[in-house]
Structure formats: structure tokens, C-alpha cells
Amino acid sequence: MAVAGRGFGFTAGLAVAVVAIQIAASASHKVFYLTQLTMSAYAILVVLGLALLMGYAGQASMGQAGFFAIGGYVAAFLTTFNLAPRRDLLFVAFLERAHLLMTRPDGSGGSVTHVHPWAAALFALGFAAAVAWIVAGPVFRLRGHYLAMATLGFGIIVHRLFLGSPYFGGADGISDVPELVLLPGLAITGRAAARVSNYYAAWGLVLLTLWMLSNLIESRVGRALRAIHGSENAAAAVGIPIARFKTQVFVLAAALAALAGVLLTHFNSGIGPSEASVMKSVRYVAIVAVGGMANLRGALVMGTVLTFLSLRGSFGSFDDLVFGGILLAMMLFSPEGIVGGDLWRRLRSTFSLKNRGDDGTAA
């Protein structure tokens, strides 16, 4: 109990579900579902970070896709950009001496020397966190709608930078990203043989993140973040340094988004500019809203279902419309989300002919 903390039941149930789904998928020869579930897990990392930032600390961000893309693009660039012709540069020579470079055959008979995927991944995370830290300074002078718009602007800038820059492949993005070997025998890669291990790695990471963020929310830091959300005046009165906590939680959410970007890029062996698009950011916000804002589990469940359906193509060409519609509907009918909210009561009272006004609307 002391080690497990609150919410152990949900985490244990989720772990059982993860295993059960894998067994069922393998037994029914539908292992390809696991690929989409792995990609959903990466989206959940972004969503969990955003739920902490938006739902608990009360700070909206419409730019999470930007941090996701920074993580993915930096990792992709460093693991594909050929440094062999630049060996005479001091910096490259230093990297080589530090054993941070590796050489592998490229697709066309030659070879490419690039930064080791591990070093690239760590650099990508650190870089995204640094960008978040720098951006936090000016944007957290703003609140509410203005903050949402400023982060939206950040997301647009990142999107256009990756789309416009030849180093990042323009509209094609970057492909031929190698696998990322996490442990001996466990590599982040889209190869069919590694489907099951990647599925478990991704969901293991989601469970770990859920556990850590749940702990955080119940800790001194979580209380400080919720106090900032509830009343900045009251938070300041008990000595909580508001600006510092906003910056730290923003960096944490950005780092989680960047981690997801790094992993998905290795899993897909590439990344394109659509990952940085504003609609992707809107999608993460919609998922957090439908999950109930200050509700990590709700965000996790709804995020998995919606991302999986979207990746399966269930929404056809109305993909973005579905997420935009969900966001609108959630704001209108159930700001508390579906999981754990009072959506059903509200819907009933919205569409009910009798009891108008005195049943449920007061809740």
C-alpha cells in the first residue's frame, strides 16, 4: 500500500488489460492491431503530460504537437545526417572519440555515419526541454485565452520551420531513421518481428508515466500546481513561486511530448511535418477534455480509444472533424469529461422534455 499509492487498482487492471489484449490479438492472428495500439501508447504520453499541465495546473497549451515534433525531428535528423564528409570538423572528431557516432549501410549501397540513436534521443529530449524552458518565460506572462493563443503561435512556428527547412526534408519529412536499441533484444522499430516487444515497451512506459504522474499529483508539487489552478493569489500567499512551478510543469509536459516524438519516429522509421500540425495539437487538447481535464485515467482511456480508431481509419476523411467536434461537444455538454463526469445526467436533462431545469442542471 505504501509503495503502491492511490490508484493501484486502476494501474493493475490496466496492466492486465494490456496483457489480455496482446494474447487475444496474437491468438486471433490480428497482431497488426498491436502496431496501432503501440502508436496510441505514444500519443498517450503526450496526453498524460498535457492533462497534468492543463487539467491540474490549469495552463492550456495548444502547442504540444510542436514539442512532439521537435523530439521526433531532432532524433531523426541526428540519426540520418551523414557526418562522414565532415570528419575534419573538431566537433565531429570529438563525437567520434567519445564513441557517440555509428556507421551503417544506407539504402543505396553506401554508408552513413551519424550520431548514435541513444545520444540523439537524449539530445532531442534535452533540446525540447530547453525550448520549453525558454518559451515558458514569455508565454506565462499570459493567462487563459491569451496563453492558449501564444502556445498556438508557437506550434504554428514549429510546424512551418520543419515544413520549410531543407535540412528536415520539407514536406516529405525524414525517412530511413534506424532502430533505437533500448535494451539488448529490445529495439524500438516497426519491424513485424518486434511488434509484440514494442507493444509491451510502449505500454510499460505508459503505465510507468501514469504511476509517476499520479504520485506527483498527490505530492507537495501536485498540490502546489492545483493551488495555482484554483487561485494564484492563495498560492502566492502560502509561498508557492508561481512562475517557477508553471515553467517546471510546462517543461515536464514538453519533455513527455518530445519522448513520444522520439519513440514514434524510431517506430515508424521516420517523421513528417503533419506530426507538427496545429490539428495534432487540437487533437491532444480534445482528448484531455473528453477524458475529463483533471483526470489522468480518463485521458488515458479516451485517448487510447480515439487514437486507435483514428489510426484504424474509422473516421475516414473526417478525422480532424471528429476531434474538433468532440472538443466542441465536450465544452458544451460536459466540461467534466465522459469518464467520471456527469455527461449522462446532463444529456438526459438537455434532451428531456420533463423535469426541465430542476434535474441535473443544478449539479
220, 316, 358, 363: residue in contact with other proteins (rule CB under 8 A): 220
Please state the closest distance from residue 260 (CB atom) to other proteins, in A: 17
Check binding of 258 to other proteins (CB under 8 A). Answer: no
Q: Tell me how far, at minimum, the Cβ of 336 lies from other proteins, in Å.
A: 10
User: Which 266-295 residues touch other proteins, going by CB under 8 A?
Assistant: 294
How far apart are CB 211 and other proteins at their closest, in Å? 8
| Sequence-separated (6 or more) residues with CB below 8 Å from residue 278 | 62, 65, 152, 155, 156, 159
Could you tell me the smallest distance in angstroms from the CB atom of residue 328 to other proteins?
A: 24
d(CA 236, CA 228): 8
How crowded is residue 176: how many other Cβ atoms within 10 Å of its Cβ? 13
Q: Which stretch binds other proteins (CB under 8 A): 132-140, 172-180, 225-233, 326-334?
A: 225-233
Burial of 112-135, coded b for 16+ CB within 10 Å and e otherwise, reads: bbbbbbebbbebbbebbbebbeeb
Instruction: Check binding of 212 to other proteins (CB under 8 A).
Output: yes
* Phi, psi (deg, nearest 5) at residue 112: -130, 135
CB of 65 to other proteins, least distance (A): 23
Q: What is the DSSP string of 136-179?
A: HHHHTT--HHHHHHHHHHHHHHHHHHHHH-GGGTGGG-EE-PPP
Number of residues that bind other proteins (CB under 8 A): 31
Segment near other proteins (CB under 8 A); pick from 30-38, 209-217, 267-275, 340-348: 209-217
- CA–CA gap between residue 203 and residue 305 (Å, rounded): 14
Residue 130 touching other proteins (CB under 8 A): no
Contacts for 338-347: CB closer than 8 Å, 24+ residues apart: 338/290, 338/291, 338/292, 338/298, 338/302, 339/291, 339/292, 339/295, 339/297, 339/298, 339/301, 339/302, 340/292, 340/295, 340/297, 340/298, 341/292, 341/298
Using CA atoms, how far residue 166 sits from 161, 163, 174, in Å, is 10, 8, 10
Residue with cell 513527455: 256
140 lies in the site for other proteins, by CB under 8 A: no
- Sole window of 76-84, 147-155, 179-187, 217-225 interacting with other proteins (rule: CB under 8 A): 217-225
Element (H, E) at 81: none
> 190 vs 291, which CB is nearer to other proteins?
291
The span of 68-76, 139-147, 237-245, 302-310 binding other proteins (CB under 8 A) equals 237-245
When binding is defined by CB under 8 A, the residue of 133, 156, 157, 226 that contacts other proteins is: 226
293-352 residues in contact with other proteins (CB under 8 A) are 294
Interface with other proteins, residue 170, by CB under 8 A: no
- List 219, 350, 352, 355, residue binding other proteins (CB under 8 A): 219
Taking residue 330's Cβ as centre, other Cβ atoms within 10 Å add up to 25
Q: How far is the CB of 214 from other proteins (least distance, A)?
A: 9
Contact stretch for other proteins (CB under 8 A) within 133-141, 214-222, 270-278, 283-291: 214-222
CB of 301 to other proteins, least distance (A): 20
Q: In angstroms, give the least distance from the CB of 15 to other proteins.
A: 18
Q: Report CA dihedral (335, 336, 338, 340) to the nearest 10 degrees.
A: -170
Least CB distance to other proteins at residue 251 (A): 9
Q: Do the Cβ atoms of 270 and 176 come closer than 8 Å?
A: yes
Q: Out of 144, 241, 313, 325, which residue is the one contacting other proteins (CB under 8 A)?
A: 241
Interacting residues toward other proteins by CB under 8 A: 2-3, 5, 212-213, 215-216, 219-224, 226-227, 229-231, 233-242, 248, 252, 294
